[in-house]
Amino acid sequence: MTATIISGKQVSEEIRGSIAGEVKELAAKGVVPGLAVVLVGEDPASHVYVRNKEKACHDLGYYSEVHRLPADTSQADLLALVDKLNHQDSIDGILVQLPLPKHIDEKAVINAIAVDKDVDGFHPVNVGNLVIGDDSLLPCTPAGVIELIKRAGISLSGKHAVVIGRSNIVGKPVSLLLQRENATVTMCHSRTANMAEIARQADVLVVAIGRANFIDASYVKPGAVVIDVGMNRLENGKLAGDVDFESVKEVSGPITPVPGGVGPMTITMLMQNTLTAAKRHHGLA
Ligand code: GUN
């Protein structure tokens, strides 16, 4: 049997539709959400991601600024720009595209972003609020994973969720959000013994390890929900997830494809966070 495909593209379009409605209401009050994206250097993948973010802002009627800086930009100059954006009234959200060149301390830059404008949810204060369950700007990809599961009509309460990967950007925050949804969460990583055996206990399997097609059908319980956060560029230029979609879809339940699964949700959640930040900035949320 072939599994149902969870379309992140379709869910993203639904959410962007409702964001567009809110943008109209805000415009009537004279408020336009504003996002500043900062890109340092020439990494081709980062340039593509930033263009996609710029386009999403344009399509939704946000104000946007993209600061493309040369690879030899000093940390002091970058921090000065962040400080300027922190104080700029037309800007509600600031995103500094990662990775940064090696001579720049990423933590220093993330820590410099105003907590209320940290639409990536990477600032330690937002991370801390996520851990203790307080209101915060949530990191976009993990928030997108949860939204995708919910909007596919899948209940997480009481389910066993297994997360493979423990990065600060995906694995750790997604495990916290799954707990918040009352799932029982197990985390696996590169040193986990018997990973396939543990993964096969999952009702919901979330994979974020950054290794193309790594997870095959031997990791998946029949009928389990499979969410693939991987985005790996193959030598032939094609994009592949961390999950071997062709083999896994023969045993799994609902599954996300790559591309067209979690990917589109990340930018949608960035737009959602920017809207939230704008509403808070103007006392409307
Ligand atoms: N580079 C890859 N993913 C991300 C992300 O979610 N945010 C930022 N700022 N940079 C990234």
Tell me the C-alpha distance between 224 and 221, whole Å: 5
Which of 92, 116, 118, 120 is flagged as catalytic?
120
Q: Where are the domains of the chain?
A: 31-114, 140-263
Which of 49, 52, 140 has the most ligand 1 atoms within 8 A of CB, as the residue to mutate? Answer: 49
- Tens-place pLDDT, residues 123-146: 999 999 999 999 999 999 999 999
Q: Is 165 annotated as a binding residue?
A: yes
* 77-110 per-residue burial string, b: 16 or more CB within 10 A, e: under 16: ebbebbeebbeeeebbbbbbbbebbeebeeeebb
- In the 3-class helix/strand/coil scheme, how is the chain assigned residue by residue? CCCCECCHHHHHHHHHHHHHHHHHHHHHCCCCCEEEEEEECCCHHHHHHHHHHHHHHHHHCCEEEEEEECCCCCHHHHHHHHHHHHCCCCCCEEEECCCCCCCCCHHHHHHHCCHHHECCCCCHHHHHHHHHCCCCCCCHHHHHHHHHHHHCCCCCCCCEEEEECCCCCCHHHHHHHHHHCCCEEEEECCCCCCHHHHHCCCCEEEECCCCCCCECHHHCCCCCEEEECCCEECCCCCEECCECHHHHCCCCCCECCCCCCHHHHHHHHHHHHHHHHHHHHCCCC
pLDDT digits (tens, 9 = 90+) for 228-257: 999 999 999 999 999 999 999 999 999 999
Nearest CA to ligand 1 atom 8: 97
The residue whose CA is least distant from atom 9 of ligand 1 is 97
* Class of domain 31-114 (CATH, top level): alpha beta
Give residues (CB < 6 A) around ligand 1: 95-98, 120, 140-141, 169
| Known active-site residue 105 | no
What would the pLDDT profile of 1-48 be if each residue is shown by its tens digit?
A: 678 999 999 999 999 999 999 999 999 999 999 999 999 999 999 999
What is the distance between the alpha carbons of residues 25 and 285, in angstroms, rounded to a whole number? 13
* Residue 17, annotated as binding a ligand: no
Cα-Cα-Cα-Cα dihedral sign, residues 190, 196, 198, 202: positive
Q: What mean pLDDT is reported for the chain?
A: 97
pLDDT tops 80 at residue 200? yes
- Our answer to whether residue 77 is catalytic in this structure is no
Q: pLDDT at position 1, please? A: 63
Whether 216 is catalytic is no
Give me the pLDDT at residue 117, please: 98
> What's the gap in Å between 272 CA and the centre of ligand 1?
16
Residue range 190-201: average pLDDT? 98
Ligand 1 atom nearest 141 alpha carbon? 6
Query: Do 31-114 and 140-263 share a fold?
Result: yes
Per the document, the length of the chain is 285
What integer is the mean pLDDT of 162-173? 98
Which residue among the candidates 97, 116, 203, 244 is catalytic per the annotation?
97
> What span, in angstroms and rounded, lies between the C-alpha atoms of 107 and 2?
44
Q: Please tell me the residue having the least CA distance from ligand 1 atom 2.
A: 98
Q: Is the pLDDT of residue 201 over 90?
A: yes
Report the pLDDT value the prediction gives residue 78, as an integer from 0 to 100.
98
Taking each helix axis from N to C end, the angle separating 140-151 and 171-180, rounded to the nearest 10 degrees, works out to: 40
- Going from the Cα of 127 to the center of ligand 1, the distance in angstroms, rounded, reads 15
**pLDDT tens column, 83-132:** 999 999 999 999 999 999 999 999 999 999 999 999 999 999 999 999 99
Q: Which residues pair with 184 in a beta bridge?
A: 160
Architecture of domain 140-263: 3-Layer(aba) Sandwich (3.40)
Q: How far is the CA of 96 from the centre of ligand 1 (A)?
A: 8
Choose which residue among 97, 127, 141, 231 to substitute to test ligand 1 binding: the one with the highest number of ligand atoms within 8 A of its C-beta: 97
C-alpha closest to that of 98 among 55, 141, 63: 141
